[in-house]
Structure 1
Amino acid sequence: MSAPTDQDGLRARKKQRTRAALIDAGLDLFAGSGYESTTVDEIAAAADVSPRTFFRYFASKEDLALAKGAEFDVLVVDALAGRPAAEPPLAALRGAVLEMLHAAADGDGVHRYLLTQHLITKNPALLAGNLRRSAEVEEQLTAEIARRQDLDPAADLRPRVLVGVVFAGLRIGLEAMCADPRRDAERMLELVREAVDLATAGIPERFSGGPGSW
């Protein structure tokens, strides 16, 4: 296999910029004209690309609208996989979620998140798609927690329950952020940290005993 060249890196960066431009154009148009009223042709024109190019990056408007959430999913799964092997499950998952939020909040990430969240809550199709996406990432995180603890997630509910409780706290913290007058990353992290800690207050750092108890 040939080694990557500077030209390969240039192409990859160009693709990244085109994808980001399409997401930015789409979110701006959704905010200004409404999700239903915005067409793929309009998004492509705003990003200065052809509709054909749009479909190289996204299967549909819905795919674009949920793209930021999908990026966050990759971040949190990668963050959990990169946590120290000896770290207890709750600390590892909590740390992965906060690490993902730190990365997601770079630049205007908070503004983009709030805009995306507003679109999702106002549009039933996007809400359904977002729920499917959340279920998929929770499955991946459950499998990773089970792997780290050498457990069978089909026989032991603790990894699934832990992920579900942490993600409930994450959702509540982000919903609180949407209603908060402050719009900075530190406030988002503060609210999510508080909600996750409240949600997991009864869960010990380490699993102990059999599958039926913490």
Structure 2
Amino acid sequence: MGSETPEDVFDEVTGRDSSSIFKPKVTALVVSNSERKGPNLMTASWWMTAGYKPFRYLLAVSNKTYTHEIIEENPEFVMAAPSVEMVDALTLSGKVSGRDIDKIEHLGLETVPGSDVDVPLLKNATGNVELSVLDSFEFEGITYYFGDVENAYVTPDGLDGRILSPDADVLAYMGSDWGEEETRTKYRYYANLTAEAIERFPGDEVVESLPEDLQEEF
């Protein structure tokens, strides 16, 4: 082991800024549905896959939010992958509560009824996943919902095999920060993915570098 320290090699950042290291990512628009007040929209970056057989997602929702109130009432939700044209929805849904305004109506977003959940899908999203809550747990004011995938949909020709097509116009979110100009809100940054920007790596060479017994295994 060398004598170098992390500070010799890297720039140190805060815990909050560490999330920028793992971007771009697709920040989800979470749709929930109240029988009393109708559907609601929330921006969510705290989510992950949480199972494969069956396929599941884990979504973290602050107990202070209107989305938490609705999912507790109706334990279903939709995770939509926003297209680039939905960047306004990504911005507004992370700032304004559905208790104060109907965000879907205000943004003029079109919806499609869910197939197996009583929650609408976002028509102009790159993709939508219908989820029903299997289980949940609470930690430090956050509820973590395990959602079973009921159905998943992608925009026509949105997948190239199992790879998201650049033609899907996905909003690959880079994060937010204040710009050089004085504004009341932060700039939202996203990567405009194109076919030319995507490279394929088959992985054969690195596997062939393994010892022979491991090569046979993998």
Sort the TM-score into its range (normalised by shorter chain): under 0.3
Higher helix share goes to which structure? 1
Provide the TM-score with structure 1 as the length reference.
0.27
Structure with higher Rg: it is 2
Higher strand share goes to which structure? 2
Provide the TM-score with structure 2 as the length reference.
0.27
